[in-house]
Amino acid sequence: MDYVKRTRRKKTNLTKHHRLPRSAKGDSSRRNISMVPLNSHRSWHQLFSNYSPEVICRIISSIYIDPDYYVVAILKEKKCQ
């Protein structure tokens, strides 16, 4: 079975990325999974590990973009039920 999964991933070159990491209590629901190219997935974790959006924005703002700009993460409002 593992061989089948690996073969399928190699053909499509996509892998599952948990948007909210499992280490931060993220689950494997469709809402929390993005299918991304394997190299992009590896790069993301190399750069940002499993940091929170706020920490990632600080890293991007302080290192990677024009110093006249900054990146922010804004939590979406939850809909009342």
User: Model confidence over 1-52: pLDDT tens digits?
Assistant: 455 555 555 567 999 999 999 999 999 999 999 999 999 999 999 999 999 9
What is the pLDDT averaged over residues 55-63?
96
CA proximity to 62, closest of 80, 47, 41 = 47
Alpha-carbon distance of 13 to 7, in angstroms, equals: 9
Q: Average pLDDT of 70-80?
A: 86
Contacts of residue 31, defined as CB under 8 A and 6 or more positions apart, other chains included, come to none
15-24, 54-63, 70-79: the lowest-pLDDT one: 70-79
For residue 81, pLDDT over 90 is answered with: no
pTM beyond 0.85, yes or no: no
The whole-number pLDDT of residue 54 equals 95
